[in-house]
Amino acid sequence: MIEGNAETSINDEPIFAAELTPYRSLGWRGFKILLMIAGAMSFLHVLVFLVIGAWPIVFFFGFDFALLFGAFWFNYHSARVREEVSVSRTDVSVKKFAPSGRMTEHRFNPFWARFSIKRHQEIGIVSMRISGGGRQTDIGSFLNRDDRETFALAFSRALATARAR
């Protein structure tokens, strides 16, 4: 998901700023509903197997439920990754936030920064990279195809605007 705005100003105000976050189709409310349904179904099956005397099966249902919960927990934990990209007349900044909260920042001069896009004929944009001054960083690797296209177009325009000033 991309949230961004474009502003024009003569001083060092951002021309472009965007926060890139991964898309998750199931929100917290949906996750809780899914977990309640899975838990209720597991509980019903546990009761059936207990009644017929197949009590060892109960442990498998508990293990399956724990695996389902763990998979979604890891998925939502990894969704906390984000990138803040901004372009001003004097600076291109990319701040990358890991799921742990650790932040790394990459800065480039907009006049020397090069925005590279790799495309696949059927898929579209496969990767985006900013390089300059002997350094480089990938951006938006977790974005879906449409968001990559939208971001690439907006970022290219912002970089061209910064260079034209």
- Answer yes or no: do 104 and 140 share one domain: yes
- Answer yes or no: do 114 and 148 share one domain: yes
Q: pLDDT tens for residues 11-61?
A: 578 899 999 999 888 888 999 999 999 999 999 999 999 999 988 888 998
- Answer yes or no: do 112 and 34 share one domain: no
| pTM over cut 0.95 | no
Q: How far apart are CA 26 and CA 45, in angstroms?
A: 25
3-state secondary structure of 103: strand
- Answer yes or no: do 121 and 159 share one domain: yes
Asked if pLDDT for residue 7 goes beyond 50, the answer is: no
Contacts of 159 (CB under 8 A, 6+ apart): 87, 92, 110, 113, 115
- Answer yes or no: do 53 and 114 share one domain: no
Q: How many domains does the chain have?
A: 2
**Domain carrying residue 130:** 2-23+81-164
- Answer yes or no: do 58 and 122 share one domain: no
- Answer yes or no: do 73 and 146 share one domain: no
Asked if pLDDT for residue 119 goes beyond 50, the answer is: yes
Domain end, chosen from 58, 78, 98, is at: 78
- Answer yes or no: do 87 and 74 share one domain: no
